[in-house]
Each structure stands twice: as structure tokens, then as C-alpha cells.
Structure 1
Amino acid sequence: MLLVTTENISGKELKHIGLVKGSTIQTVHFGKDIGASFKTLIGGELTSYNEMMEEAREIATERMIDEAVRLKADAVVGVRYSTSSVMQSAAEVMAYGTAVVFK
């Protein structure tokens, strides 16, 4: 599945099928959350949260692709990501775009 952030694909004529999306809500293990709390005291990168968000983006992207495949799309254009905090230490990641077929 071709994914692009642009609205067009060079050299292709597109027919829009519709919006496709995928989302997930992720959190870190309680122990890692406590460790991250201590890290905020001394500063630095919160690697457990980076890993959580990377995994969430991958899951959301795969769910978006699955929806596009069900629609028999050739590609998804205008791919975007959105995040929001659901509760302390939990975040939702949504991937979305427009499913298209090549004419």
C-alpha cells in the first residue's frame, strides 16, 4: 500500500474512495511510568514514552491500511497523524487519509 502525505501522486490520475483511519490508545507499564516520573526531575529523554508512541503510530497506521485494503484502494493520500491525551500516561494516536484508486 502506497502512503503519501501529499494530495496527489506524480504521474497518477486518482479516484477518491473516501476517508480511512486507524487509531489506538496506548499506555506504558506502571513501573516504567514511575521511572519516567523520576526522569522528569533530572531531565532527559523519556525513552519508554518514545517507544510507546512509536508502537502506537505503527498500530494506527496498520489499522488505516487495513481499512484501505478493505475498500480495495491502491494508495492513501494526505496521510496525517493526530495525538491526544486520554488520561495520565495514556495517549490516543490516530492515522488518517484519503483512500484512492489509480485510474
Structure 2
Amino acid sequence: MLASPELDEEVGIRHDEQTMRPWQTVVWNDPVNLMGYVTHVFREYFGFDRPHAERLMLAVHHDGHAVVAEGAREQMELHAQAMHDYGLWATIRQAPQ
């Protein structure tokens, strides 16, 4: 079901639920990259500490994917491209409601 847009009375801008949800960068498991390399990429690119990077890497390994960032679509696209540049599989999606 589509949500009807709401009017923000203060600024006169229409919003709907879809445009207000953040976007996510998702890294997917692949048969090529080693777990240590994935941890390294998360630490180097995102600046995560080792325990956080390892938790995300283990989610990728065991669950098949992990959300590594959330925010504006343009920034998530940049993150996904950076993951591709490192040789990782990544996509973007809107965060679930």
C-alpha cells in the first residue's frame, strides 16, 4: 500500500514515508575474499575498531551479508562503490520500516 504524502506545515514540503527512511550499504559474502581481508577493509575504509569490524565480517560470513553503513542515499552509493574498489560485493537498499 502506498503512503499518502504529508505536508510539513512549517516549510511547505511534502514528505512520504519512503523518502524519510535512510539507506543502507550492504556487504555480501563472496567465494573470493578472506575473512581477514574483509576485516581489514572495514577497519581501513570505515575506521571501525577491530571488534566491530570482526563482528560485521562474521555476519557477512555466517549470515551472507551485513549492513555496514546507514544514511543518505548518495553517501551509501559512495560506500558501495568503495567496497567494489576493494573487491567486495556491496549493494544499497532503503532501510526496512
- TM-score when normalising by structure 1: 0.24
> Which has the larger helix fraction?
2
Structure number with greater CO (CA < 8 Å, separation at least 6) is 1
